[in-house]
């Protein structure tokens, strides 16, 4: 079956620190991979995506590379800011006969302190 | 940028009461979804809806739940007789994918309705 496992939080970093949030997946077939971000009081927003092996998704300084050999899609940012404090969700999308089905990780809470 | 809107943002109800959660998906989207997130837990799939009918549903989506697209713009989730364990954040989402490229298109989420059952 399809599932996503991401590192548990919470994660607390100082401003300008390097961020890694690990995500691994299990999938039948060839899924697309996504990172969503949820700021306090808001819904899930797409942060970045990758649709095939070795693709790198990037946005707002965040990056993640689709690694088929390790079934991973780790989120990284070189220098975090206080405004990056949020919950981050790794997700995969697998095609089905009736549309795309999404599977989410449990979310990782990030707090960046000045 | 077009967005998915959900109302109300917070709903408090007593156990056994019916609730209707409302969503307005992005206007040109074809696929509609409901997810829920119990506090501190995973975002869980409830149901997907395409071409005016349910296309997939999870084990969570039992007979107490129903969805409708009553007027071509709104997409509603009804819980007939709420239980304490229905307390969660409910997210509506929509997608513009067609079946040929379905798994590449991201979901666009609303801000959610926090349902509290007392």
Q: What is the pLDDT of residues B56-113, one digit of tens each?
A: 899 999 999 999 998 878 999 999 999 999 999 999 999 886 544 555 678 889 999 9
Residue written as tokens 């149901």? B47
Question: Which of B41, B102, B106 lies at the smallest CB-CB distance from A106?
Answer: B41
pLDDT of residue B40: 76
Distance CA B83, CA B6 (A): 21
Distance from CA of B24 to the nearest CA of A (A): 14
pLDDT of residue A96: 65
Q: Tell me the chain A residues in contact with residue B99 when contact means C-beta distances shorter than 8 Å.
A: 95, 97, 99
Distance from CA of B50 to the nearest CA of A (A): 8
Assigned token pair, A59? 């946005």
SS3 B86: helix
Per-residue pLDDT, averaged over B17-29, amounts to: 94
pLDDT of residue A42: 81
> Taking 80 as the threshold, does the pLDDT of residue A16 lie above it?
yes
What is the DSSP code (8-state) at residue B107? P
Per-residue pLDDT, averaged over A18-25, amounts to: 97
Assigned token pair, A54? 């070795």
Distance from CA of B64 to the nearest CA of A (A): 22
Per-residue pLDDT, averaged over A5-28, amounts to: 94
List of long-range contacts for A27-30, beta carbons under 8 Å, 24+ apart: A27/A2, A27/A3, A27/A71, A27/A92, A27/A94, A28/A1, A28/A2, A28/A94, A29/A94, A29/A95
pLDDT of residue B104: 67
Q: How many CB atoms lie within 10 A of CB B79?
A: 19
Assigned token pair, B99? 């079946």
pLDDT of residue B98: 52
Distance CA A54, CA A70 (A): 11
Q: Cβ A42–B107 below 8 Å, yes or no?
A: no
73-112 in chain B: CB under 8 A from chain A: 91, 93, 95, 97, 99, 102-112
Residues making up chain B, counted from first to last: 118
Assigned token pair, A38? 């949820």
């Amino acid at each position: 079956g399809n599932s996503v496992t991401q590192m548990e939080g919470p994660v607390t970093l100082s401003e300008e620190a390097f961020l890694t949030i690990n995500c691994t997946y299990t999938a039948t077939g060839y899924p697309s991979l996504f990172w969503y971000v949820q700021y306090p009081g808001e819904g899930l927003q797409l942060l970045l995506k990758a649709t095939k092996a070795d693709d790198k998704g990037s946005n707002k300084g965040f990056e993640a590379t689709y690694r088929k050999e390790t079934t991973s899609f780790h989120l990284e940012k070189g220098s975090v800011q206080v405004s990056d404090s949020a919950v981050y969700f790794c997700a995969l999308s697998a095609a089905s006969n009736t549309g795309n089905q999404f599977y989410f990780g449990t979310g990782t809470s990030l707090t960046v302190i000045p | 940028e077009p967005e998915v809107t959900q109302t109300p943002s917070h709903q408090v109800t007593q156990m056994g009461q019916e609730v209707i959660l409302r969503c307005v998906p992005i206007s040109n989207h074809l696929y509609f979804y409901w997810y829920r997130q119990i506090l501190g837990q995973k975002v869980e799939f409830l149901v997907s809806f395409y071409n005016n009918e349910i296309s997939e549903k999870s084990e969570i989506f039992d007979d107490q739940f129903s969805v409708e697209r009553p007027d071509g713009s709104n997409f509603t989730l009804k819980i007939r007789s709420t239980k304490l364990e229905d307390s969660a954040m409910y997210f509506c989402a929509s997608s513009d994918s067609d079946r040929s490229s379905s798994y590449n298109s991201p979901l666009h989420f609303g801000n959610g309705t926090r349902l509290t059952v007392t």
